[in-house]
Amino acid sequence: MNHRLTQFSHGAGCGCKIAPDQLEKILSNSGNSSVFPDLLVGNSTKDDAAVYRLGDQGIVSTTDFFTPIVDDAFDFGEIAAVNALSDIYAMGGEPMMAIAILGWPIDKLPVETAGEVVRGARAACERAGIPLAGGHSIDLGEPIFGLAATGRVPLDSVKMNSGAQAGDMLYLSKPLGIGLITTAQKKGLSKPGDLKIAMESMKKLNRIGSELSRIKAVNALTDVTGFGLAGHLLELCEASGLSAELVFDRLPVFEWARGYSDLGCAPGGTARNLRSYGRQLHFKDAFERMLLADPQTSGGLLISVAPEGMSEVERTLTEANCPHTPIGRMKSSENKNPGVWPG
């Protein structure tokens, strides 16, 4: 019997993340790791992964897991693994190995289906050139899956979200609209061709981050996931003490995004995101606001690059078959209050 995995979870993929403002409260009294001098990147700037100095290189460590984003078990495992490895690439690193995190409702879904999830994750890890070396599992009320991943990065190639400079140009390496299509799937409204395109995007490794990190003019990198483009751009703004302008018509967007929006397929994570940071998002058009807050699963890399590096970045993106048009720029923050403005 085939099971539609998305029917066994309350959310879909990165759309099930805790909202940014709630996460802020959770972490506010948890302390910090500033007493460890070799911890080069911790959680102080909400970066994608931790980086620890070990000799002349950095060890990158991250974890990411979520509820089913698609119905097929193999596809779910593959997408979840690619999404987790994205954090390594977003720091400019190369993954070394991963271990699996599995929660499974044993009384609702066959263990063989869980095996297909793990098989999909192993396929993604093999594409990245790393072993899926072990993991941990628990009996849980709804299915979850992800990875804890370890990577390495030369110290002079570490890219943090706090490095952006005023005047930097912004690029996004994958189209927006994943939250819309996955919600449409849960509602039985998605077209197979549209879903196929979205799945190809979610399965594409962000290994281009390792190449971009070697471009000196690239000042900051982050990946776009559950907080939407606006949420992750705001984290970059706050970490760098800047604001940003976006030209909406230049954003890479799946051609079917507006159609699913018109069908009412905005995920619950969109509303949570807007409640968290909507006051800092100075777009008035409802569709534009919705799309900028749309939770992405295994989304693209957001790249902040000095103007003199634009041609090299665009060439690198083009060779990787990624969108390569600048979508906006970083600017000085008005009144010390970071925000995202129409450009």
The reported pLDDT for the residue numbered 14 is: 45
Taking only the tens place, the pLDDT of each residue in 155-192 is 999 999 999 999 999 999 999 999 999 999 888 999 99
The 3-state secondary structure of 87-114 reads HHHHCCCEEEEEEEEEEECCCCCCHHHH
pLDDT band at 117 (very low <50, low <70, confident <90, very high): very high
**11: confidence class by pLDDT, cuts 50, 70, 90:** low
pLDDT tops 50 at residue 138: yes
What per-residue confidence (pLDDT) applies to 92?
A: 96
For the chain, how are helix, strand and coil distributed in percent, rounded to 5? 40, 25, 35
pLDDT band at residue 19 using 50, 70 and 90 as cut-offs: low
Which of 3-12, 157-166, 257-266, 295-304 shows the lowest mean pLDDT across its residues?
A: 3-12
Task: Pull the structure tokens for residue 320.
Answer: 């990787």
Three-state SS at 163: coil
Q: Which of 22-26, 84-88, 118-122, 290-294 has the lowest mean pLDDT?
A: 22-26
Quote the tokens at residue 229.
């483009």
Q: Does residue 321 register a pLDDT over 80?
A: yes
Higher pLDDT, 10 or 162: 162
Among all chains, which residue has been given the structure tokens 């994608």? 48
Question: Is the pLDDT score of 98 beyond 50?
Answer: yes
CB-CB contact of 171 with 305 (8 Å): yes
The predicted pLDDT at position 13 comes to: 46
In whole angstroms, what is the distance from residue 296 CA to residue 179 CA? 6
Question: What is the DSSP secondary structure assignment for residue 29, as one 8-state letter?
Answer: T
| 3-class secondary-structure state, position 200 | helix
Strand partners, 268: none
Mean pLDDT of 78-103: 97
Q: Which residues are catalytic?
A: 14
Angle, in degrees to the nearest 10, between helices 268-277 and 228-240: 30
pLDDT digits (tens, 9 = 90+) for 219-261: 999 999 999 999 999 999 999 999 999 999 999 999 999 999 9
Look up tokens 């706090």; give the residue.
Answer: 162
Tell me which residue has tokens 């409640």.
Answer: 275
Tell me: pLDDT of 44 over 90.
no
Query: What pTM was computed for the model?
Result: 0.93
* pLDDT in the model for residue 16: 59
pLDDT at site 4: 79
pLDDT band, very low/low/confident/very high, at 290 (cuts 50, 70, 90): very high
| Segment 258-288, tens digit of pLDDT | 999 999 999 989 999 999 999 999 999 999 9
Compute the average pLDDT of residues 206-229: 97
pLDDT of the residue at 336: 74
The identity of residue 337, as a single letter, is: N
**Burial zone of 29 (CB within 10 Å; 0-12 exposed, 13-18 middle, 19+ buried):** exposed
pLDDT the model gives residue 46: 82
CA distance 225 to 22: 17
Sign of CA dihedral 33, 35, 41, 44: positive
Distance CA 37, CA 52 (A): 9
Look up residue 276 and give its two tokens.
């968290």
Structure confidence at residue 29 (pLDDT): 65
pLDDT at 63: 96
- In angstroms, the CA 299 to CA 200 distance is 11
